[in-house]
Amino acid sequence: MLDATRIEVMLDHLTTEARNPASERLDSLTPLELVRLINEEDARCAQAVSEVAGAIAKGIEMIADRLSRGGRLIYIGAGTSGRLGILDAAECPPTFRSDPSQVLGLIAGGPSAMLKAVEGAEDSPKLAEEDLAKVNLSSNDVVVGIATSGRTPYVLGALDYARSQGAYAIGLACNRDALLSSRADLSIIPVVGPEVLSGSTRMKAGTATKMVLNMLSTGAMVLMGKTYGNLMVDMNATNTKLTDRAKRIVCTLTDLSKDKAGELLNRCGGEVKTAIVSYRLDLSPDQARSKLQAAHGHLRRALDGAAISNGKV
């Protein structure tokens, strides 16, 4: 357990806690100057993420492998870090038609901390262990511990518990030599430098974190066959906008009108991939589902495999 004195010493040496020379006169800038400065600093995020591309790619491979074998992706963090994990998890079901239990987000202090800070929750490693135990963490899962400082006790406790249970532990931080690196199987450390507002890691560090989480979940879902090219073919059409998008995707991959695409989707239970396979291969919805299952859910493999079996290569 980290004591208060040691935490203070560690904070003194964190890049994310340092003063940014470019913003030392922040309170003297005009609104336009503020915007330009923040935008210039935000541009550093993409470069910082690019420098850890190899680690992110490794994370994508591990997540896709565990999810394909029935495991889960579990984000866990405190404050902004926890909220970003919950946000990314919440977007997976509508985007990829994933089961809501497949990608989870946990935050120190529980659901109420999503909207209001729960003081002291991030300082308890034991609380993280309890939170992971409540969701029945198993060796099939991947835990992504998010802490821009790299030393949040709640996140360190989560990573320690994850490894003790055989889960694959990924640590995500924004400071070099982050303490969580010693607690993780894989570390992803985009170093974005001091914030425009000193210590406000909801800014650049938060932006870089969001970028990495987008890559991890989207990359894993792509490897699992949730897309066809750059089309969202495994989406869950839960509102008017998404229903219209589903129709447009079917139209793009068939020669059907939007009305006919809508009728086909209705026959296929709203499943975009099933509708496309059904039409392209002249199969019933159930036969199309079987074809997709044989291709492990990959639309391209289902369509290409049928073409090869028919001598069309």
| Secondary structure of residue 282 in the 3-state scheme | coil
CA distance 12 to 293: 54
- Measuring CA to CA, how many Å separate 49 from each of 144, 188, 200? 16, 9, 19
CA distance 185 to 65: 15
For residue 286, with 0-12 CB atoms within 10 Å meaning exposed, 13-18 middle and 19 or more buried, which class applies?
Answer: exposed
Per DSSP, the residues of 233-277 read TT----SHHHHHHHHHHHHHHSS--HHHHHHHHHHTTT-HHHHHH
Could you tell me where the DSSP H helices lie in 18-123? 31-50, 53-68, 79-96
Give the residues across from 231 on adjacent strands. 228
For residue 249, with 0-12 CB atoms within 10 Å meaning exposed, 13-18 middle and 19 or more buried, which class applies?
Answer: buried
CA distance 236 to 214: 18
Nearest to 278 by CA among 288, 270, 286, 269: 288
Catalytic, 91? Answer yes
Measure CA 304 to chain center: 29
Catalytic residue among 8, 17, 40, 91: 91
Catalytic residue among 24, 41, 51, 122: 122
Q: Calculate the CA dihedral of residues 113, 116, 120, 123 and round it to 10 degrees.
A: 40
Q: Catalytic residue numbers?
A: 91, 122
